[in-house]
Structure 1
Amino acid sequence: MQINLLGPFVAHEQQTSILPTAAKPRQILALLALQANQMVTVPTLMEEIWGEEPPRTATTTLQTYILQLRRRLATAFGTDQRSAAKGILVTRHGGYLLDVQPGEVDSSEFERILGLGQAALTAGDDATASLLLGQALKLWRGPALVDVQVGRVLEIEVLRLEEARLGALEGRVAADLRLGRHANLLSELTVLSARHPMHEGLHAQFMLAQYRSGRSWQALETYQRLRSTLIAELGIEPSARLQRLHIALLGADPRLDLVDDEPMLELHRVVG
């Protein structure tokens, strides 16, 4: 089986699509896949597809949706293994579980590789961290569940995944900065800072990459653009760490030329 959630929803078993066309069964399959190998309770499934006001027939209707999903699985398996569908979409006391193998759900694989990459980053193995975090990010083909109608439960899951994706990006950029790849990061960080106009971490990395690439004036412009946005949108100044970086840039602090420190750690050392 292969289920892809990090972009358009794709689900195949033995090269046959098991993806429902109806909105609510798609939601159920997406939620079960996101919680693969863990039981999702009936109340959670009901909250996802009906919110706070499930119909009186909710239990029966949910069972019907599960049956429809099993039929799609059975069709994919063929006549010889139709009973296997119940072994994949498993009924548990109080809920349901999607039994999958490692690597079959892209969101789970993303989180696994992300964990390895973050561990390498913490250990100071920047080359490995950059490689692993880059591999994790390549699993994304667009916004998570971009073509799925999401309820309250899936909405939280999508936000969690998008935040994890942003964390992976920051981590990979931090590793690349420490590896001296600042010039190669400029175009990517130009796009990222435009997409996230109030994200201080990405702007700090962009400023550092610009400074190390001999573009100190652009780094100062990036700071002023971020500051103007924060004041206009939120009525706040940049954080103390960003202000320290700004001061360091103005003074051409030689510690900013180091390539073996993570940007946010440097901000503390600048005034240490």
Structure 2
Amino acid sequence: MKVFITGASSGIGQAFARQYAARGASLGLVGRREQALRELAASLPGTHHCYAVDVRNRPALHEAAGDFLAHGGIDLVIANAGISTGTLTEEMGDFDAFRAVIDTNLVAMVATFEPFIPAMKQAGRGQLAGIASVAGIRGLPGAGAYSASKAAVIAYCESLRSELSPYGIRVSTLAPGYIRTPMTARNPYPMPFLMDADAFAARAARALDRGTRYTVIPWQMAIVAKLMRLIPDPLYDRLAVRAPRKPRHS
């Protein structure tokens, strides 16, 4: 099995790497920190390829994808790379942070998937997995960039699923709740149903095995997500005003 994973140097991406390496997969590991990637690869069974790439660098990302494809095709691509920070639209200095979140979480997902689709079409099979978030279900105060990026990921993967299903290519959307990673370590508020990254990756891998189109993990947050969709807008607005906020990048 050949699996390409972005954001592999820490958190969920690293947990996915451990999960699939234990299954005997050969991995393409993408991340910004070369040393962390090499240490991860050395700790895993099997032979793997490391690519020290910022996913916002589309040509470099495509070069990494081409190199990995040259080593024997592709079965699964997990577009996991993501960043999160609090943003406020009225703060002029937050614009660059807003753009970085959108570029990393959404635009880079497109750049991750696109070089693999022709090979998957030719093979008549393959799977693309996009990492969304429960934060993409409803807009959260102080997290406009992150919520917008993850809502867009959900819609994008849904569109892509319809486009690619006639070619035998599966597209899955995974929406984590709170997962214990360096990203959530900065959150200064309680995180209900907080889940270890390895436990998330194990459940997510089983969902991908089933060809799940969309799922929220853990199941408790799936219930929360359904309730969030049902809350009338005026009530949600009143509740959201009092919601805790992620610290801004500054």
Q: TM-score, normalised by structure 2?
A: 0.30
Q: Greater CA radius of gyration, 1 or 2?
A: 1
Higher-RCO chain (CA-CA 8 Å, sequence separation at least 6): 2
More strand by share: 2
